[in-house]
Every structure is written in structure tokens, then in C-alpha cells.
Structure 1
């Protein structure tokens, strides 16, 4: 009976390693960021002060999602960064962003439009 339980344990361990290795193999192998690889989208990286908690992130996400053309928001609280992805025609101006952040209780610092990745240029 003890041999059977050892055999079952070894089979379970082997199955676990097999499943884990198959997941690793299916991950993208490129070191380039996956964002910016979809044609027809624009992406902005916005720096702001005062983003300190998940509730802050939620408030900013909610404000940006009200803007036509915005598709997704990613807030990095540790770095004070807000990445906004939207349709290709999406654009922001300094005053618009200052107002949005000030009205939300934060301090707008800067914005840059992220360039498309090299992967896009190969298409």
C-alpha cells in the first residue's frame, strides 16, 4: 500500500511539472512590450503625484473611461504612472490633463505619447 501512495505522489509531481512547463512554453518569447502591438491604437504615459492607494487608481480610471476613445487604463501607484490606451485618434492636451487630475485631487506632472514598438514596424 505504501508503494502505491509513493507512486501516486510521483505521478502527481510529474503531472504538475509537465503542466507548469507547458504554460511557460506558451508564453510570448519576445522581450518587447506586448502593449503597442495592436494597430490602430495610441498609448500615453502620464506622470502624476498623489496616487497612493487603489481607491486613487479607481478614481482616475473612472475619469479617463468617461473620455470617448479611451479603451483601457493601467495605474502604477508605486511609480505615479497612468498608462492610457485608446483609439488612434485619441489625444490629450496639457490643460485637459491638468484639469482632470486637479479635479480628482492629484497633481499632473507630464505626459508622453509612447512610440509604436518595432514589432509594429515589421508588419
Structure 2
């Protein structure tokens, strides 16, 4: 997945972010600050559109991280160790060290 930098560990799971996440952050912020927000709330100061756009884009990325953490924690609950989580251009991926012990566990991990 290219160049990834570490954000540290959460619940013992390494968290990494690929540089491409910056592209998503920038595009979401730009789209909100220059498109949707001025249309929805005309007359507000420009800096406010940019601030709200940035906070909203960051919240979106944090929700992706929370989603991947849920996969990793449910996997751990079923005896599958989670090595790391990486956020990148198309979302995120939780890297698991082994397969789920049975189809039911696999479904729970995938559905979390």
C-alpha cells in the first residue's frame, strides 16, 4: 500500500495511515468548504466553511478507524489476533494473523 506512517497503538493493535488518506481529507474538506456548506448556509464566513469541512472530514476518517477497530476487536474475541490496522485511499484494512476458527466467527468478524 505504499508509504505508511504509524499513529501508535490502540488496544495493542498498531494503527497506520497511508499518505493517500491526506488526499481523501483534502478532497472532502474542499468539497464541503467550497461546495456543500456555502450552498446550505450562505453568508457565513469562508474560514468557517473550511473549519467545519476539515472537522467533518476528520470525523469521517475517525469513523473508518472505529469501523476497522471493531473488526479487530471482534476477531480478538474469537481467538484471532489482529496485527495492525491501516487506513488508506479506499478505506481501511485490519490485518489479522490467522483465519477465523469457524464460519460463525468469520461472519461475526466481517459483520462487525
Q: TM-score, normalised by structure 2?
A: 0.29
Higher relative contact order (CA 8 A, sep 6+): 1
* Greater gyration radius: 1
The two structures have a TM-score, normalised by structure 1, of 0.27
